[in-house]
Amino acid sequence: MRIPILEHILSANDRLAAENQRLLAEKGILVINLMSSPGAGKTSLILRTIEALGEDVRIGVIEGDIASRVDADTIERLDVPVVQINTGGTCHLDANMVRGSLDQLPLDDMDLLIIENVGNLICPTDFALGEALKVMIPSVPEGDDKPYKYPAMFAAVDAIVVNKIDLLPYLEFDLSAFRKLVTGLNPEVQIFEVSCKTGEGIGDWADWLAAMLTK
């Protein structure tokens, strides 16, 4: 009984996601679905991206969390329009939650919408939100074996931003083995290496994103 129900939910979500995508494309807004484990650096990457591109690009943010609005408060301090979604207990955002948030954003004055998903490497994979690009952030302390364990996530994304490279001297993380493993699952993926703490590598990420905005 459970499989047909799940299929029904998924196809309803896919339909809503396609509507979101159409609406946002009409407005000329590039939409990113940003995913990672808890604490890998989603909010930090958003802050660095605003810092790098915010003068030229009009950015809006949707923050997804089980509970709390600490991340939305952090973003709001940079004078960027932000909506917080609290999912209650749900382990991912869905297209309907995003649809409900769009009314609260100044869509006519935005170029880029970054949607920070719930911290989770599994559930968000199955739920499109209306994004043009899926981006995930693995972080160095999580270890270089994560692609073995969460292959669907690594295979589904357009770009991977490896965060916390400032901690490489203190950890065993083999970047070249990691890259090889990732490109085995996803040959076309863009891989960036950054430290949101020091700012290292953020320029390459921001340049790529700027190029995507003009596509």
Q: Least Å distance between CB 89 and a second copy?
A: 7
Residue number, 150 or 192, with CB nearest to a second copy: 150
CA distances from 154 to 65, 140, 171, 210 (A): 21, 15, 22, 23
CA 5 to chain centre: 27
Per residue, the 3-state secondary structure of 117-138, as one string, reads: CCCCCCHHHHCCCCCCEEEEEC
Residue type at 139 in one-letter notation: S
The reply on whether position 167 binds a second copy by CB under 8 A is yes
Q: Least Å distance between CB 196 and a second copy?
A: 12
Residue number, 161 or 209, with CB nearest to a second copy: 161
Whole-angstrom Cα distance, residue 136 to residue 142? Answer: 13
Number of H helices, E strands in the chain: 8, 7
- Binding residue for a second copy (CB under 8 A) from 23, 66, 175, 191? 66
Q: Which stretch binds a second copy (CB under 8 A): 31-39, 75-83, 94-102, 106-114?
A: 31-39
- Binding residue for a second copy (CB under 8 A) from 18, 25, 152, 177? 152
How many residues sit close enough to a second copy to count as binding (CB under 8 A)? 37
